[in-house]
Amino acid sequence: MSDVLRILLVDDEELARLRLRTLVGDCREVPAVVVGEAANAVQAADFLAAHECDLLLLDVHMPGLDGMQFAARLRQQPKPPAIVFVTAHAEHALQAFELEAVDYLTKPVKRERLQAALQRVTQRLPQAGERSAVPAAEPEVLVVSDRGRVVRVPVAEVLYLKAELKYVTLRTAAHSFVLDDSLAELEARFGDRFLRVHRNALVARVAVRALERRQVAGEGDDEAGESWAVRVAPVEEWLAVSRRQLAAVREALVAAGR
């Protein structure tokens, strides 16, 4: 790619494209420019035939060929542009990552999430003059806003992700952060590293230390408030395990030799 990330906006709603263009301009930490816009897959294909582009910010639901179908066709090209889906529908996240999308953003898109996606794209694509070089391994990170500052949290440091009201709590050994992402979206992105223990919680597989019957405030499966729970190291916190997830958690512990 060039020194500046070249972006094509593909969305059938003009206002949505305008908002994305504004957000791209606000992501000053990542050098990026919108080089074109398209209202459907046909227009996007015509643009790509005549112009170079590093990234598509691609809507899913569009008239004619939808975003998923268009992405599948682009994958057949020798050097397709990177794709970040931008949609109001969260249910297509799994299919998006099967199509090797770099990220999946749900509307209304927040600047921090878009910026994180652009950073992931720039880290994955070869830089100008380095197309034959082997890119360095990218440490996966979650970008969070904490008291007015942007913090990059390596996924390897995340102990658990827990949905609470409208937000998700991200816990590391040293800090807790609040995310705007949905738990389902996070599971789609990093599910292989995390174990679903409850409808509201994902725990890093390496952090699970024990499974016991315990009193877990407000999350018990029965009237007495007692529930199966996992111990999360090194913070020594306990998170409830739902009956639905109990067998999977046991299997994971056995497989890990714990």
The pLDDT of residue 114 is: 93
Q: Which residues pair with 226 in a beta bridge?
A: 215
Q: What is the pTM of this model?
A: 0.51
Cβ atoms of 203 and 232 within 8 Å: the answer is yes
Q: Which residues pair with 198 in a beta bridge?
A: 201
Tokens 């009193």 belong to residue: 215
pLDDT digits (tens, 9 = 90+) for 39-94: 999 999 999 999 999 999 999 999 888 999 999 999 888 889 999 999 887 776 77
Is residue 15 domain-shared with residue 72, that is, in the same domain? yes
Please indicate, yes or no, if residue 139 is contained in any of the structural domains.
no
CATH number at residue 100: 3.40.50.2300
State what percent of residues in the chain have pLDDT above 70.
88
Domain finish residue from 109, 128, 147: 128
Is residue 92 domain-shared with residue 186, that is, in the same domain? no
Is residue 115 domain-shared with residue 168, that is, in the same domain? no
The pLDDT of residue 17 is: 92
Residue 20 has pLDDT above 90, yes or no: yes
Please indicate, yes or no, if residue 78 is contained in any of the structural domains.
yes
Please indicate, yes or no, if residue 182 is contained in any of the structural domains.
yes
Q: How many domains are contained in the chain?
A: 2
CATH number at residue 175: 2.40.50.1020
Please indicate, yes or no, if residue 247 is contained in any of the structural domains.
yes
Please indicate, yes or no, if residue 39 is contained in any of the structural domains.
yes
Residue 173 has pLDDT above 70, yes or no: yes
State what percent of residues in the chain have pLDDT above 90.
47
Domain range enclosing 210: 157-256
Is residue 113 domain-shared with residue 174, that is, in the same domain? no
Please indicate, yes or no, if residue 145 is contained in any of the structural domains.
no
| Averaged pLDDT for residues 5-15 | 94
